[in-house]
Amino acid sequence: MTVIKFGFLIFFLIFCYSCVNDQYIKNYSEQEIGGKKITVEISVFHGDDHLLDKSVMIRRFCIGSDLNKLEQNCELDPIILNYTITTERPLRISIPSRQPIIAKILFQHVDHWSFADAAAYFTDQNKISSPTNCKTSGVSLEGFPKFLCNGFKNTNQVHKIRFRYLGKKDLEKPGSGGELIDKIILGPMFLPAEVVYELASP
């Protein structure tokens, strides 16, 4: 009887784990999108050219009219859930163009030897002047490094969001802190990364 109960417990845990990690992308109908839409492309890139094949999981991508609605939609009505993208396989989707709009993406990379996380918030209320159009801003509710980014303003251009693993050249730049300091603060398994936002032609 004990063996049966133990076997059932293992099956239940595996079943629950598979449920939690289900992949999901919300498909909007033409009626939901209406006459205007926002096209979003999400990709991953590595700063070291010799490490071309890299992946990251989009834990959640959600939108809302304010921060409260945003966090509610992230829990109850995400647009993307647990979807993995690679350097060779970016993701492009269309979402309704609503104003005001705040977007949030949770990026997560975890394997046996390393990890990297980021929570990025996008709104046209942000006025960030940097090459990446994003800046670090503490820690998110999930405990991820938090990035505030420009966008999503109403435009026909493509909103390109990139999760970028930093290479050795990036970490050697003045003001970066260097790889050694990053490892001391965040641990030897940490992979430094950043979020980049830009607009591009369709």
pLDDT tens digits, residue range 102-153? 999 999 987 776 778 899 999 988 888 888 999 988 888 888 889 999 988 8
Q: 77 falls in which pLDDT band (50, 70, 90)?
A: very high
Listed in sequence order, the residues at least 6 apart from 18 whose beta carbon sits closer than 8 Å to its beta carbon are: none
Q: Give me the pLDDT at residue 190, please.
A: 67
Q: If you average pLDDT over each of 28-42, 76-90, 148-162, which comes out highest?
A: 76-90
Burial 127-157 (b: 16+ CB within 10 A, else e): eeeeebbbbeeeebeeebbbbbbbbbbeeee
Task: Look at strands 115-122 and 80-86 and give their pairing.
Answer: unpaired
What pTM was computed for the model? 0.78
| 189/13: higher pLDDT | 189
**Cα 202 from Cα 185, distance rounded (Å):** 40
The amino acid occupying position 37 is K
